[in-house]
Amino acid sequence: MRDEVRKVCTYCGINDNGNIIATIDSEEIKKWKETYIFNFGKSYINAGDNPLDVRQVYCDPDLTYKKGYDNHYFSQLNSFLNKREIDLRAKLNGNYVYDFVKGEGIEVSEILKDEGKKALFYLRSDQFGFSAPSNEKSHPYDLYIMKHKNKKEAIKQVADWIIDSRTIGGSFLWPKPFYNKYNQNRGGKISSSRKYYIQDRVDLTLWEIYYWYKDKSKSTIMTRCDDNSSNLNKWLSHFNSFLTYIEFFCFKDFIENVEETEEEKHPKSILKDGSCEPKWGKDGTNPDPEIKNNIDIIILEKMFNRLNNRILNRSTIIEERINCE
């Protein structure tokens, strides 16, 4: 792992003092990892023990906007948004400013020439590094552990992926109340249901954003969760195009042909090399979910490695943007 990546802050842990704010290479995270792995042995592998232990020391960064948490994660996201607003002002539709409000999220306001500052909506984050293992054992990381011959080694690997993915580059930002619907409908569980075909995948979510800009008539989970009160239109319209959205949010590593024209920029698959557009049914039905119980463990492992390498690269870039003068 590159030195600059090891210095990225991760937000995956919690201890007796609250949620942990520390770099990947810190002693605090090393200690947390040991505790996290130990809890697996007590509650996840051995039947009969308390199944809740496996998540007792895990912190979901998406929840740290709440009172009672150290809000560093959301404060950093807030700083990033305001810096990017300045960097890309000429490419954006309207002049937005961002203010973190404890217990609510990131408030988005528009600066209007005659009316001053007008509050629009709140943003919440939505992790795309796959759900942490739980007693349900129903998510992709759970499937990897179940398929692995050496459970202890698998758990150590998953712990590293959790640490890497719960960095600042591992989430989308959605406006409320759109967030409330879409966060659930993006799914995440191992399922054969077309309803939840996205399964928390960043690449398929980026395809939905791509369609929103390029083909609004296409019926996707995103468009079906949208309505006049969801604030999604206000949010995505601010960036004018898929190209500007990708640039604003530093998604370069998640897109192929980044040096080509906008029409040729497509999301990279995390399941295989290159770009692979979802296969929609002729009648507009959702694509089939691809992460199923019969998936090969090698494919799973490659997917997790692709995803987390891209997240770490994005996190490094975002932290650099925040810290640059």
* Interval 302-320: pLDDT, tens: 999 999 999 999 999 999 9
Beta-bridged to residue 147, according to DSSP, are none
* Interval 278-300: pLDDT, tens: 988 877 888 999 999 999 999 99
Quick one: how far is CA 259 from the chain centroid? 24
**Sequence-distant (≥ 6) Cβ neighbours of residue 255 within 8 angstroms:** 206, 246, 265, 266, 267, 268
Residues 224-240: b if buried by 16+ CB within 10 A, e if exposed: ebbeeebbbebbbebbb
Tell which wins on pLDDT, 53 or 104. Answer: 104
Element (H, E) at 246: helix 242-248
* pLDDT above 70 for 198: yes
Tell which wins on pLDDT, 181 or 1. Answer: 181
Tell which wins on pLDDT, 11 or 260. Answer: 11
Cα–Cα distances (Å) from 161 to 20, 23, 113, 157, 219, in that order, read 17, 14, 46, 6, 33
Model confidence at 275, in pLDDT bands (50, 70, 90)? confident
Average pLDDT over the chain, rounded to whole? 91
Number of other CB atoms surrounding residue 139 within 10 Å: 20
Instruction: Report the candidate in 79, 127, 84, 69 with the shortest Cα–Cα distance to residue 106.
Output: 79
Which residue segment(s) compose the domain that 172 sits in?
3-323
* pLDDT above 70 for 225: yes
Mean pLDDT score, 265-284: 88
Label residue 116 left, alpha or beta by phi (over 0 means left) and psi (-120 to 50 means alpha): left
* pLDDT above 70 for 212: yes
Tell me, yes or no, if the pTM score tops 0.85: yes
Structure tokens, 124: 């919440």
Angle between helices 151-165 and 297-323 (to 10 degrees): 30
* Interval 227-242: pLDDT, tens: 888 899 999 999 999 9
Peptide bond into 177 cis (omega under 30): yes
Q: Tell me, what DSSP letter sits at residue 23?
A: E
Mean pLDDT score, 245-255: 96
SS3 259: coil
* pLDDT above 80 for 261: no
Model confidence at 187, in pLDDT bands (50, 70, 90)? confident
pLDDT of residue 228: 80
What HEC string does 42-106 produce? HHHHCCCCCHHHHHCCECCHHHCCCCCCCCHHHHHHHHHHHHHHHHCHHHCCCCEEEEEECCCEE
Largest Cα–Cα separation, the chain: 65
Residues 184-214: b if buried by 16+ CB within 10 A, e if exposed: eebbbbbbeeeebbbbbbbbbbbbbbbbbbe
* pLDDT above 70 for 3: no
* pLDDT above 70 for 245: yes
SS3 content of the chain, % helix, strand, coil (to 5): 45, 15, 40
Quick one: how far is CA 269 from the chain centroid? 15
pLDDT of residue 184: 86
Model confidence at 132, in pLDDT bands (50, 70, 90)? very high
Q: Name the domain count of the chain.
A: 1
Q: What percent of the chain has pLDDT over 70?
A: 93
Q: How many CA atoms lie within 13 A of 190 on its CB side?
A: 17
Do the Cβ atoms of 274 and 131 come closer than 8 Å? no
pLDDT of residue 258: 57
Mean pLDDT score, 187-196: 83
Model confidence at 100, in pLDDT bands (50, 70, 90)? very high
Instruction: Report the candidate in 74, 89, 168, 160 with the shortest Cα–Cα distance to residue 122.
Output: 74
